[in-house]
Structure 1
Amino acid sequence: MSDFIRDSFGGRLIYHLSRHKYFRYPEEEEDYIIPEKYLVDTKSDIQCLPKEELDGDDASASLSSSSSISGKTVIPEDKYNNYIFVEWDGDEDPEDPRNWNLFKKGFFIFEVAFLTTSVYMASAVYTPGLQQLQDELSVGRVVGTLGVFTFVLGYGIGPILWSPISENAAVGRSSIYALTLLVFVILQIPTALVDNIAGFCILRFLGGFFASPCLATGGASVGEVTKYWNFPLSLALWSIGAVCGPSLGPFFGAILSVKAGWRWSFWFIMIVSGFSLAMLTFFLPETYAPTLLARKAKRLRAKTGNNRITTMGLLENEERTVHQIMIEALWRPIEVTILEPVVLLIDIYIAMVYSVLYLFFEVLPIYFVEVRGFTTIELGLTYLAIIIGVLVAVSIYLPIIHHQFTKPILNNETVYPEVFIPIAIGGGCLFASGLFIFGWSATTYTHWIGPLFGVAITTAGTFLMFQTLFNYMGASFKLEYLASVFASNDLVRSTIASVFPIFGAALFNNLKIDKFPVAWGSSVLGFIGTAMIAIPVLFYINGPKLRARSKYAK
């Protein structure tokens, strides 16, 4: 695990402050044998492909893809044959995160999942104590829910900045995670102490903004340590934290609001995310291949004195101004959203699913507290139905995806991204049916367990759609663009979902009928969910054609 500490944000800080005395790399040791390819000084010794094999966009795509994914640099002979490009030392290079052992990969995925859970809990953690906040800050219910709106909006906008920056070879993932999490932890202090609603909403927006990197980039980080055929498994393990986090927030918030008051919800978030910060600062290594290779190139330059040693990431930074880099980075997620029909349609679908998840934070108190008379802590327990639904879905999803995706790839069979779509269609059916079950079983006279079954079925469908559609995007687009693709998804789904808690209570209250207080409100959502099943059906029929038109697709 020493390499985890060495490549972490804290380890890198110590490395630079000690002038490379501590946490040295193999290339800096005196007994390091420099590979011959980094010592040559003739153009003929550099691996090139014929010019006619690399033209226009295909050339840049091949360069980017090869340098960041496989480590095998493909160099057009005209422009770049004056350089020696750093690669991984073979397919089994231990410095390549994809070659870590199972324990290291598992620990890394746990770290990213725990980080995701710790910040996701903050989204709705104070909602069980909403009445206390209303009384103390002298605001109504709708204004009180603005804290959820601004937080979700913040972590929808944040990845548009953070994810593309993390795709720059000079920055990488780990430093973004550590620095933004540090600001998030600090922001919990004034949030817990604020005495007016305007300041509360501003602090919540800033908290969401700085909490956002892992919500979009976490999936990309998981992909960087996982062999292609195991990516769905790794993404599912990370997503357990992503989906369960918003549900654990109200659970702990209910207990804290009763025992200590609503402000303690934010002290709790500070403690949990502070622990995550301490762990990640020293045990979350960098995994972005262009960043790792760029650092290796700089060490080899220092060792050999040969400034021709480089990577595509370093060259891109050297050939462009900071302004050009920022414009390209910030524009890419927006471009992907607007110009990629696959991404746009999935973003809209996931946004609808995500919005329903946040509506549960409004409808569960309406039914279980106002209609059934549950206490605040009992209300908090109802949110565990969301987690149960997710865990059941995981137990079904993993064996299926292993059989349909992992095994065929290991058997050298061709697998297309559409393999995920039937599960997404099934998830869409569960999602819609769960909403109908929830709405029409939530009566004033039947047992309260019925609507919780509906919640569990809805969230099981939610998880299956999240997983399969994210995997569909992951299998459809080049790995180096995945952070931007996921950032696009996070922007659309969070921006749309952020407004749903504001009108959620009105939706259900205005459509309630005697004995069925939330039936028609849930049914409206169920009808929308049923209609949107057409989106994965479209991908299943026309997916190859849509991908063929994309410059970011594999």
Structure 2
Amino acid sequence: MSTRNPSASGASSTATPTIAHEPEHPKVEMAEEIVVDWDGPDDPENPRNWSRNKKWAATLVVSSFTLISPVSSSMIAPATAEVADEFSVTNQVLIAMMTSIFVLAYAIGPLFLGPLSEIYGRNKVLQLANLWYLIWNLVCGFAQTAPQLLVFRFLAGFGGSAPLAVAGAVLGDIWAPEERGQALAIYSLAPLLGPVVGPVCGAFIAQRSTWRWVFWSTSIFTVGVQILGVFYIRESYAPLLLERRAARLRKSLAAAGAEGGHVPKVKARFTDENHTWKTVLHIALSRPFIIFYHEPIIQLLGVYMAFIYGVFYIFLVSMPPMFQNVYHESVEIAGLHYLALGIGVSAASQTNARAMDWMYRTLKERRGGVGEPEYRLPSMYPGTIFLPVGLLMTGWGVQAGVHWIVPDIGIALVGAGIILNFQSIQIYIVDAFALYAASGASFFPFCFKLPQLKFEINPNPTALACVGCLRSLCGFAFPLFAQSMYDKLGYGKGDTILAVLAVVIGCPAPVLFWRYGKRIRGRSKFAKQPDSLSDPKPELAEGRSTGDDGRRQTKE
């Protein structure tokens, strides 16, 4: 445990002392305040120092949480016709909403669950939210009316949104940038692979059993993931861990003070007395709009990610009627075409996972050992090409009624384009809203203050929640007009419109941010302030000093 000793820094006894190791029986007679920090760079309680096996166990379980919820989001898609018949629903928008309303909850849940993870910890929020999802997903199988199903699906989606809000921050807590590419690639694969796996399984279940087993089967799988989470996920949020350490020190000092000794004030590094429910709620509802207004990074890349996610869900809801009506296939066989989407997503994701880490290390070595978020962008170049090409091949292939392998190749290209863009944008946003130690060896989440709000928050959940909100709104809304668009324009013209939008919105993004990304970040209100939650020796960072408040300060 580290405390701050006035004599070590030449500060007065009333000032916050500088970092020094706490002896076995601390003597803090001169200190008015003790700031608790990590015990040097090798502190075993620092999540950065977890063993590699422990990190990968947490990564895989967190990714499983992130997988099962998207599986539920789309698994009902092939069975919506059966559900509509049972509930006597004929409105196409309402039928599409049975699938997409789950994603609407994704737009709302992270706004609350992200901040809650900063108060109660990542682990507790993730586990309890997953339990909430499990309960309501199970109840969906007992719905007796369409409105009941819609309400239950929305409530399940709220709990299921927790991994999207928190899991990425967990990986940011435990992995360094040179290692994080593959871990985040696996994590970011789950929200896209899950909706692909879901309909394949859902089609077979709907054909051979009842649509209600779509929900019951996912609930059974979720129980298994929940059990793994109890054993393999531990708290990783640095401020909360340091606060627990400070609480233990307060308890021991209070016992000493009861015997007549002086009891100094003890606080954890980054403790904020304004960390109240009222402040948290204010920030939870306002900060995505604040960030979207101020940040060109979020405005352009977030909108593009939202668009491609909307296109993704258009494919999820339109593929069953596409192959059933044009190619006259059964529900089971039509569901198999989701495998083309899964192949494109999986192949591109695993290739990109290794490529991103290699490109990051190579570019960093060539440019003086300094890592930049822009080193994550090269994967977007093929991604922005694959997406429109795949859309055109799919739409016009189906329109012409050619062999099904042609639209399947197009669908695979769409999946590859989506995941290449998705992963690059996701990691770029995380990197752009977090800074490196001077050595470039570690990636650290950092704190910043929103305008006119004296409250420090972790920007990883903030930025990702903002992007996730935009993405989920499009994932909910796009399927609602998809079938009407295809009915009026045909698959060829409909997908051509989407392809043109993909080119206009997406193609300029990697070029723009590769050339001007550093300049844009330099003008950012949130990304340009260096800080660290996990750096045990901030005074060693280049160009930085440790002030009396114990926080890292940038030298002008």
Shorter-chain TM-score above 0.5: yes
2:300 is equivalent to residue 345 of structure 1: yes
1:294, 1:311 within 8 Å by CA — same for their partners in 2? yes
2:64 corresponding residue in structure 1: 114
- Which residue pairs with 1:421 in the alignment? 377
**Which deviations, in whole Å up to 9, do the C-alpha atoms of 1:496-531 show, x marking residues without a partner?**
22011111111112112xxxxx11111111111011
Aligned equivalent of 2:462: 484
Taking the TM superposition and a 5 Å limit, the aligned residue runs for 1:242-321 are 242-305=191-254, 306=263, 308-313=265-270, 315-316=271-272, 318-321=273-276
Q: Is the 8 A contact 2:182 2:354 kept in 1?
A: no
RMSD: 2.3
Q: TM-score, normalised by structure 1?
A: 0.82
Measure the CA separation in 1 of the matches of 2:484 and 2:99: 16
SS across alignment from 1:88:
coil
Equivalent residue letter for 1:89:
D
Match of 2:500 in 1: 527
Q: Where does 1:41-80 land on structure 2 (aligned, <5 Å)? A: 43-45=6-8
User: For residues 320 and 155 of structure 1, do their structure 2 counterparts lie closer, same or farther at Cα, with a shift above 3 Å needed?
Assistant: closer
C-alpha separation in 2, matches of 1:312 and 1:92: 17
SS of equivalent to 1:324? helix
Q: Does 1:506 align with 2:480?
A: no
1: CA distance between counterparts of 2:179 and 2:265?
Answer: 36
Correspondence 1:429-468 to 2 at 5 A: 429-468=385-424
Provide closer, same or farther for how the CA distance between residues 496 and 293 of structure 1 changes in structure 2, counting only shifts above 3 A: same
- SS of 2:235's equivalent in the other structure is coil
Corresponding position of 1:493: 471
Q: Distance in 1 between matches of 2:415 and 2:331?
A: 22
Aligned partner of residue 193 in structure 1, secondary structure: coil
Q: Deviations over 1:264-315 (max 9, x none)?
A: 11101211222222221333111111111111111222233355232144x3
Matches within 5 A, 1:80-229: 82-140=32-90, 141-168=92-119, 171-229=120-178
Structure 2 counterpart of 1:27: none
Structure number having the greater strand percentage = 2
Instruction: Give 1:29's aligned residue.
Output: none
When structure 1 is superposed on structure 2, of 406-415 and 294-303 the one drifting more is: 406-415
Distance 1:100 1:408, change over 3 A: farther
Find 1:470's aligned residue among 426, 443, 463. Answer: 426
User: How far apart, CA to CA, are the structure 1 residues paired with 2:169 and 2:315?
Assistant: 28
Q: Counterpart of 1:232 in structure 2: which amino acid? A: G
Tell me what 2:514 maps to. 540
Q: 1:187 to 1:106 in 2, by over 3 A?
A: same
Whether the 8 Å contact between 1:371 and 1:444 is mirrored in structure 2 is no
Matched residues in 2 for 1:136 and 1:48: separation?
A: 75
Contact 1:229 1:409 in 2 (8 A): no
Distance 1:95 1:438, change over 3 A: same
> Who is 2:527 aligned against?
553
1:347: Cα distance to partner?
A: 1.2
Q: Secondary structure at the match of 1:145?
A: helix
Instruction: Give the conservation status (yes or no) of the 8 Å contact 1:177–1:214.
Output: yes
Give the superposition deviation at 1:457. 0.8
Residue 189 of structure 2 corresponds to: 240
CA shift in 2, pair 1:377/1:337, >3 Å: same
Amino acid at match of 2:522: A
Q: SS where residue 139 of structure 1 aligns?
A: coil
Deviation, structure 1 residue 459: 1.0
Residues 330 and 293 of structure 1, relative CA distance in 2, 3 Å threshold: farther
Match of 2:311 among 343, 353, 356: 356
Q: 321, 338, 343: which is aligned to 1:383?
A: 338
Counting matched residue pairs gives 480
Write the distance in 2 (CA, Å) between the matches of 1:223 and 1:365.
37
Helix, strand or coil at the partner of 2:357? helix
Which residue identity is paired with 2:499?
G
Name structure 1 gaps, 5 residues minimum. Answer: 1-34, 50-65, 72-80, 513-517
| Structure 1 residue 403 displacement after superposition | 2.5
Query: In the alignment, is the contact (CA less than 8 A) between 1:113 and 1:242 conserved in 2?
Result: no
TM-score of the pair, normalised by structure 2: 0.82
Once the two structures are TM-superposed, the CA of residue 549 in structure 1 deviates from its matched residue by 1.6
- Cα separation, 1, equivalents of 2:351 and 2:11: 47
Deviations 1:18-39 (A, max 9, x none): xxxxxxxxxxxxxxxxx6x54x
Aligned to 1:425, the other structure's residue is in SS state helix
CA distance in 2, matches of 1:211, 1:201: 15
CA distance in structure 2 between the aligned counterparts of 1:48 and 1:403, rounded to whole angstroms: 46
Describe the superposition over 1:174-199 as per-residue Cα deviations: whole angstroms up to 9, x where unpaired: 11111111111111232111111111
CA distance in 1, matches of 2:429, 2:189: 18
Q: Tell me the CA shift for residue 329 of structure 1.
A: 4.1
- Assess if the C-alpha contact under 8 Å between 2:140 and 2:215 holds in 1: yes
Q: State the 1:407 CA deviation.
A: 4.5
Cα offset for 1:372? 0.4
Tell me, which stretches of 5 or more residues in structure 2 are unaligned?
13-17, 22-30, 255-262, 435-444, 446-457, 529-556
Corresponding letter in the other structure for 2:428 = Y
Give distance in 1, aligned partners of 2:299 and 2:512: 13
